[in-house]
Amino acid sequence: MKANEIREWDDFEVGERLKELKEEQFRLRFRSATMDLENPKLLHSIRRDIARLNTVLREREMGAGKDVPVAVAQDTEES
């Protein structure tokens, strides 16, 4: 899952996917405590996907997803 793909989703889809991943993460952590996992890297990838989803939600909250005018972007680079 890439951040650009996530940005195309609406807030409901992002929230639902985030809920699913958190449930899956809980189940995998529980299983890893009681037995060995077939793919221990799966926990790592789920954690990163959760972080990506939270990042996109935060960007939307802060309004960072909006386009910045080129003149403003150039002024900040020169300073």
pLDDT digits (tens, 9 = 90+) for 16-50: 999 999 999 999 999 999 888 888 899 999 999 99
- In CATH, the number for domain 3-78 is 1.10.287.310
Question: Which residues are CB-contacts of 24 (< 8 A; sequence separation ≥ 6)?
Answer: 46
Q: Where are the domains of the chain?
A: 3-78
Sequence letter at residue 32: S
- H-type alpha helices, the chain: 3-8, 11-34, 41-62, 70-78
Give me the pLDDT at residue 52, please.
Answer: 95
Cα separation values, 67 from 11, 57, 63, 73, 76, Å = 19, 17, 9, 10, 15
